[in-house]
Amino acid sequence: MAQPSKLSLLLASALSLSSISLIGCGGSTQTKDDDAFFVPIIEGDISEDVFDDQRRLQIYLKMPADDFAKLRSEGRELDVAMDQCPSTDFEYTDFKALANIDGEELTNVAIRKKGYLGSLSTARPSIKLNFDTHQEGRTYKTLKRMTLNNDRQDPSHSHQCMAYDLYRAAGIIAPRCNLAHVVINNEDMGTYTHVESIKKPFLERNFNNKSGNLYEAQIADLGSELNHRFELKTNKTANDRSDLDDLAAVLQLEGDEFLTQLAQHIDVNEFITYWAVETLIGHWDSATGNTNNFYLYHNPEDDLFHFIPWGTDSAFTSDNAFKPDSAPLYKNFSLAKRLYDIEQTRIQYFSAINTLLTDHWIEEDLLAKLDQIQAITDTPTSDFQSMKDFITGNESSGQVSQRDHLTLAMVGGVAQTSYLLPDSSIDCASDKMITSLSAEFESKDDNNDEGTFIFTDNQGIRRVASMTLVPLFSDFDSLAYLEDESTSPPVIGLTFIGAATPPLYKDSYILQVFIEKPNYQPGSSKLHGIANNLMLFKVIDNTTIPAKLELINVGHSGTIELSKAGTGDSSSAIKGSISAQMSPVRVPNYMITEY
């Protein structure tokens, strides 16, 4: 197996998919020999503020080993999670745990896994705790529940809390946030981010009224057909979603009537500030960046909708791998696009960005906050580098600071593309085509890697892709090893290129295999989320860098078996096999506008 320099460029876009909608203190997997509920001396000064950001909460959990193994394994299949047809029938299992939080012991605490796709991990699962489920009325320092995010897409543990701090500084209602050190069954899971749950207590505290409709959005936009993508979280029995339909109807209006009627449904100034903060922090997986990760609350107090941010672990990165050139001025949400196209509100949007840059985007203060987080968590300095580059730029890599990037974009110096979900019906009734894929692979010296992967394409044709024959047709490595350290834990990417029949090895295919580093060892790993999974691409054009690829299928279920888990060089071979079920993903046909 040759070094993958050229292949690394070919597959840059493919491997970046591992950090999809993806510690310092990184989470040792060492487990103590005894089964005692070990709780060490509490670190730091405990305060009554459960969201105290001056220290990490210490959360120790104990549960039956079989229950924890099942909790770790649960999650939506990758093909289901990526599909544009929403899946509403999946639920995580509730288990019971003994908890010790900052020295206070709580029995019969409900615990379950959390995460839709990007945060799914078997090594370090995100979790939710509920103190009220088995003991009605019980709270921990006023909280009925805790949401503990594994920071899979943020090894620095800085994105979420710093993002929510900036929302609140700008006057936007956002969840409270701090850090926690989590240990489960004496296994040190490392640093997690503790985020306030968006539930009725949050609504009562922030809006003085918890009786309104609360909607959660995951790849959802406003429209007569698109509205069904919003999940109603409150008032489910009544299920009256007419308020959302009324808001969507306003988007069909033209001229002055649009802004006049819009003001009857949302606080336009508040939304523009919300939008400007998403832009400021480079939160690409957001409402305006990706029609994702936000809540809408219709507050009966003022009869207006309010946007609530969520899922900010991918903030401070700006670019959306699925929507090229859509940063930094996000308008991939229908409301943002309409307001951007109106000169008056576009100027107001730019003004809001400039105000934030002047009043709240203080680079020295942001860097000092990173230092504080590093001191609290003992996170390696290298895990903060991408965050620092985003804030101040990096001359050696050619990355400009976020301040300069936004300033240039607002004067038209950055190409911008808008991607909107079409407001059209989707055929979600037809069954997905599930096909099988098998593979055998082994790295060899001198670019003589061997193997095949066999699959059925979308036309129903059985393809046999030969890795062994690739060197006869090109100078690409047919098996490459890459490690992505932008996630926590890191992801190992094994990339296979195969020349396929029929006909006559004319077509080239790429099988991208993702394995979470703790699972990258001899043995078997089940497909799980994006952490351990497969993506199958057809090469459309290999003359460009990166190559143009068509995503054909993604993993549904199956196993990756490794007998040798090396890096592919002469002293560290890779050998294994795959047996999996895969299916195509129904992806949106975006409405694209370039500026």
The rounded mean pLDDT for the chain is: 89
Task: Give the rounded percent of residues in the chain with a pLDDT score beyond 90.
Answer: 72
Amino acid at 284: W
Opening angle at CA 168, ends 222 and 153, nearest 5: 70
Q: Which two tokens stand for residue 53?
A: 């950001």
Task: Give the rounded percent of residues in the chain with a pLDDT score beyond 70.
Answer: 91
The pLDDT score that the predictor gives to residue 86 is: 61
Sign of CA dihedral 334, 335, 338, 340: negative
Q: What is the pLDDT of residues 73-114, one digit of tens each?
A: 999 888 888 877 766 678 999 999 999 999 999 999 999 999
Amino acid at 150: N
At residue 84, the 3 state secondary structure works out as coil
DSSP code, position 80: H
12 — pLDDT class (breaks 50, 70, 90): very low
DSSP code, position 41: P
From the list 138, 137, 67, the residue with the least C-alpha distance to 106 is 138
* Residue 175, pLDDT above cutoff 70: yes
Q: Report how far residue 98's alpha carbon sits from residue 111's, in angstroms, rounded to the nearest whole number.
A: 10
From the list 76, 115, 71, 119, the residue with the least C-alpha distance to 95 is 71
* Residue 5, pLDDT above cutoff 60: no
Residues of 465-502 as b/e, b for ≥16 C-beta within 10 angstroms? bbbbbbbeeeebbbbbbbebebbbbbbbbbbbbbbbbe
- Given a contact cutoff of 8 angstroms between Cβ atoms, the answer to whether 352 and 329 are in contact is no
The pLDDT score that the predictor gives to residue 474 is: 60
Q: What is the pLDDT of residues 415-431, one digit of tens each?
A: 999 999 999 887 776 77
Mean pLDDT value of segment 278-305: 97
Q: What is the pLDDT of residues 214-266, one digit of tens each?
A: 999 988 999 999 999 999 999 999 999 999 999 999 999 999 999 999 999 99
* Residue 20, pLDDT above cutoff 70: no
Residue 8 φ/ψ, nearest 5 degrees: -60, -40
At residue 503, the 3 state secondary structure works out as coil
The pLDDT score that the predictor gives to residue 360 is: 98
Angstrom distances, CA of residue 411 to CA of 336, 344, 370, 595 = 18, 16, 30, 12
- Residues whose CB is less than 8 angstroms from the CB of residue 243 and which lie 6 or more positions away in sequence, other chains included: 213, 298, 305
Which residues are 106's β-sheet partners?
99
- Residues whose CB is less than 8 angstroms from the CB of residue 154 and which lie 6 or more positions away in sequence, other chains included: 160, 193, 313, 314, 488
The pLDDT score that the predictor gives to residue 593 is: 84
Using DSSP bridges, classify how beta strands 479-484 and 491-501 pair: parallel, antiparallel or unpaired.
antiparallel
Q: What is the pLDDT of residues 453-502, one digit of tens each?
A: 999 887 788 999 999 877 555 666 789 999 998 888 999 999 999 988 76
* Residue 192, pLDDT above cutoff 90: yes
